[in-house]
Amino acid sequence: MITSNQLLGLKHLSLDDTSTVAASGTALVLIQPPRGQIYKVISVDFKALDPAGSGAGTHKLMGRWTSGNDIYLFSLTSNTGSNMYIAYGEFDATTEIPSTAPEQLKILTDTIWASYDEPFELAYTNSTDVQQAQDREIDVLVLVYKECL
């Protein structure tokens, strides 16, 4: 017998992060549904301004599953003086992995799944010489499915 996950609906997640990230610090945000549900990410919007007053370094956003590995699905890095964004399925940063718009769109609309036991992590790292006290804006649109066994 073949079973499929029942679609429960569409959900907007506002995951804005207002924490201050110290120089050489990292802030983590999880995309994690409640037990019994699975999220399929279909859109991500992200905005991080350059840490105010920074004179050297970079800031970075990386996305991965939290299974304990250090393999990231995507990465954006911006130098001092540059903001970083994800909007309309594309990255806008100094260095982007993957680097092409079609690959970025595929990751952001068709690759990221999360469950309670296997959430997806957005890791923002501030490798500049000052703290990042500005909010990071994060909006995620997900399809919500009932988890089946």
Residue 56 near residue 80, CB atoms below 8 Å = yes
What is the maximum span of the chain, computed from C-alpha positions, in angstroms? 61
pLDDT (0 to 100) of residue 56: 95
Domains and CATH numbers, the chain: 7-146 (2.60.120)
With beta carbons less than 8 A apart as the criterion, state whether 124 and 61 touch: yes
Q: Residue 114 in contact with residue 33, Cβ under 8 Å?
A: yes
3-state secondary structure of 125: strand
The pLDDT score that the predictor gives to residue 39 is: 97
Contact residues for 107 (Cβ-Cβ < 8 A; gap 6+):
63, 73, 74, 98
Whole-model pTM above 0.85? yes
Instruction: Walk along the chain (149 residues) in steps of 10 and give the mean pLDDT of each run.
Output: 73 95 94 96 96 94 82 93 94 96 94 94 95 94 90
